[in-house]
Amino acid sequence: MRHSQKSYFASLRSRLLFLICLATFPAFLFTFFMAERERSSALVRAELDALHLARLAGREHAHQIQGASNLLRWLGSKLEQDGRKSPIITDPNFLRILLAGHPQLANVGVLSPDGQVWISAHPQLSNRNWKDNPAFMTALNSRDIAIGEYLISPIFNRPTLNHAYAIRDAKGKVWAVLFNGLDLEWLSEIARQADLPGMSSLLITDKNGQILAHNDSNRSEKGANLVGLKIPNIDEISRSKRGKSLKIEGTTDRRYFVALPFEGTPNLYVAVSLPYASIFAQTAAVFYRTLAILGTLTLFTIIVVFLAAELGILRALRSLAYAVKRFGAGDLSARALFFHGHNEIASLASAFNTMADSLVARHNEAVQVQAQLRALASKLQTSREEEAARISRELHDEIGQALTSLKIDISHLRSHCPKDNATTACSIAMHESIDAMSTQISNMISLVQHISSELRPSVLDKLGLVPALEWLASSLEERSELAIQIDAEEIPSDINERVSITLFRIAQEALTNVIRHAQASNVEIKLVMNGENITLTVQDNGKGIMPDSLKNPQSLGIIGMRERVALIGGHLSIYEAKNQGTTVQVTAQLLQKSEVTHANSVGR
| Residue 166 clears pLDDT 90, i.e. is over it | yes
Same domain? For 119 and 205 the reply is yes
* 3-class SS of residue 130: coil
Q: Which residues of 507-516 are buried (b: 16+ CB within 10 A; e: fewer)?
A: bbbbbebbbe
Q: Cα 206 from chain centroid?
A: 61
Asked if the structure places residue 543 within a domain, the reply is yes
Q: Round to whole Å and give the CA distance between 208 and 213.
A: 14
Q: What is the DSSP string of 335-398?
A: -PPPPPSSSHHHHHHHHHHHHHHHHHHHHHHHHHHHHHHHHHHHHHHHHHHHHHHHHHHIIIII
- Kindly list the distances between the CA atom of residue 43 and the CA atoms of 242, 284, 569, in Å, as whole numbers in the listed order: 10, 10, 88
Same domain? For 452 and 500 the reply is no
* 3-class SS of residue 403: helix
**Based on the number of CB atoms within 10 Å of its own CB, is 318 exposed (0-12), middle (13-18) or buried (19 or more)?**
middle
The per-residue pLDDT for 578 is 65
Q: Cα 105 from chain centroid?
A: 73
Contact (CB, 8 A) for 14 and 221: no
Mean pLDDT of 339-343: 61
| Residue 234 clears pLDDT 50, i.e. is over it | yes
The per-residue pLDDT for 376 is 67
Length of the chain, in residues:
604
Please state the domain count of the chain.
3
Asked if the structure places residue 264 within a domain, the reply is yes
Contact (CB, 8 A) for 274 and 243: yes
> Highest mean pLDDT: which of 165-169, 438-442, 491-495?
165-169
Question: Phi then psi for 260, rounded to 5 degrees?
Answer: -140, 150
Mean pLDDT of 304-318: 73
Asked if the structure places residue 143 within a domain, the reply is yes
Mean pLDDT of 237-249: 80
Asked if the structure places residue 206 within a domain, the reply is yes
Q: Round to whole Å and give the CA distance between 452 and 166.
A: 159
The per-residue pLDDT for 77 is 92
In which element (H, E) is residue 449 found? helix 425-455
Same domain? For 151 and 265 the reply is yes
Same domain? For 81 and 178 the reply is yes
Same domain? For 409 and 523 the reply is no
With cut-offs at 50, 70 and 90, classify the pLDDT of residue 395. Answer: low
> Highest mean pLDDT: which of 16-20, 138-142, 486-490?
138-142
C-beta pairs of 274-277 under 8 Å, 24+ apart in sequence: 274/46, 274/50, 274/196, 274/197, 274/200, 274/243, 275/197, 275/198, 275/199, 275/200, 276/245
| Residue 602 clears pLDDT 50, i.e. is over it | no
With cut-offs at 50, 70 and 90, classify the pLDDT of residue 425. Answer: low
More confident residue, 526 or 8: 526
CATH of the domain at 260: 3.30.450.20
| Residue 388 clears pLDDT 80, i.e. is over it | no
With cut-offs at 50, 70 and 90, classify the pLDDT of residue 565. Answer: confident
Among residues 390, 425, 456, the one where a domain terminates is 456
Sign of CA dihedral 17, 18, 19, 23: positive
Same domain? For 428 and 527 the reply is no
Q: Round to whole Å and give the CA distance between 89 and 102.
A: 19
Q: Round to whole Å and give the CA distance between 514 and 382.
A: 26
Q: Which residues share a beta bridge with 162?
A: 181
The per-residue pLDDT for 389 is 61
Mean pLDDT of 404-408: 71
Closest-CA residue to 467 (of 496, 491, 499, 450): 491
| Residue 419 clears pLDDT 70, i.e. is over it | no
Closest-CA residue to 258 (of 87, 44, 82): 44
With cut-offs at 50, 70 and 90, classify the pLDDT of residue 594. Answer: very low
The per-residue pLDDT for 596 is 41
Q: Cα 63 from chain centroid?
A: 68
Same domain? For 437 and 480 the reply is no
Asked if the structure places residue 576 within a domain, the reply is yes
Average pLDDT of the chain to the nearest whole number: 76
Mean pLDDT of 369-381: 68
CATH of the domain at 480: 3.30.565.10
Among residues 249, 265, 289, the one where a domain terminates is 289
Same domain? For 252 and 170 the reply is yes
Please tell me the least confidently modeled range out of 111-115, 177-181, 354-358: 354-358
| Residue 471 clears pLDDT 80, i.e. is over it | yes
Domain with 255, as residue range(s), is 41-289
180-193 pLDDT, tens digit per residue, is 988 777 766 676 66
Asked if the structure places residue 310 within a domain, the reply is no
With cut-offs at 50, 70 and 90, classify the pLDDT of residue 323. Answer: confident
With cut-offs at 50, 70 and 90, classify the pLDDT of residue 466. Answer: confident
With cut-offs at 50, 70 and 90, classify the pLDDT of residue 74. Answer: very high
Mean pLDDT of 329-339: 78
Mean pLDDT of 204-231: 68
More confident residue, 382 or 507: 507
With cut-offs at 50, 70 and 90, classify the pLDDT of residue 165. Answer: very high
Asked if the structure places residue 52 within a domain, the reply is yes
| Residue 299 clears pLDDT 70, i.e. is over it | yes
Give the list of residues 6+ apart from residue 94 with CB closer than 8 angstroms, or none: 87, 88
Same domain? For 392 and 252 the reply is no
The per-residue pLDDT for 360 is 85
Side chain identity, residue 295: G
265-292 pLDDT, tens digit per residue, is 677 888 887 776 776 776 677 777 777 8
Among residues 261, 289, 317, the one where a domain terminates is 289
| Residue 511 clears pLDDT 70, i.e. is over it | yes
Mean pLDDT of 424-442: 71
DSSP 8-state secondary structure symbol assigned to residue 116: B
3-state secondary structure string across 574-597: EEECCCCCEEEEEEEECCEHHHHH
Mean pLDDT of 71-96: 88
Q: Could you tell me whether strands 117-120 and 105-111 are parallel, antiparallel, or unpaired per DSSP bridges?
A: antiparallel
With cut-offs at 50, 70 and 90, classify the pLDDT of residue 198. Answer: low
Measure the N-to-C terminal CA separation of the chain; round to a whole number of Å: 54
Closest-CA residue to 469 (of 505, 517, 515): 505
Query: What is the number of alpha carbons within 13 Å of residue 498 lying toward its C-beta?
Result: 30
Report percent pLDDT > 70 for the chain.
72
Side chain identity, residue 221: E
The per-residue pLDDT for 164 is 93
With cut-offs at 50, 70 and 90, classify the pLDDT of residue 175. Answer: very high
Asked if the structure places residue 309 within a domain, the reply is no
| Residue 449 clears pLDDT 70, i.e. is over it | no
More confident residue, 565 or 3: 565
Mean pLDDT of 336-346: 68
Same domain? For 427 and 488 the reply is no
Q: Round to whole Å and give the CA distance between 174 and 140.
A: 7
Same domain? For 77 and 222 the reply is yes
Mean pLDDT of 17-37: 73
Ramachandran category for residue 452: left, alpha or beta (phi over 0 → left; psi -120 to 50 → alpha): alpha
Please tell me the least confidently modeled range out of 337-351, 387-401, 552-566: 387-401
The per-residue pLDDT for 177 is 93
Closest-CA residue to 87 (of 110, 106, 116, 111): 110
Q: Round to whole Å and give the CA distance between 251 and 220.
A: 7
Same domain? For 487 and 449 the reply is no
Q: What order of strands is seen across the sheet that includes strand 146-152?
A: 117-120, 105-111, 174-183, 159-168, 146-152
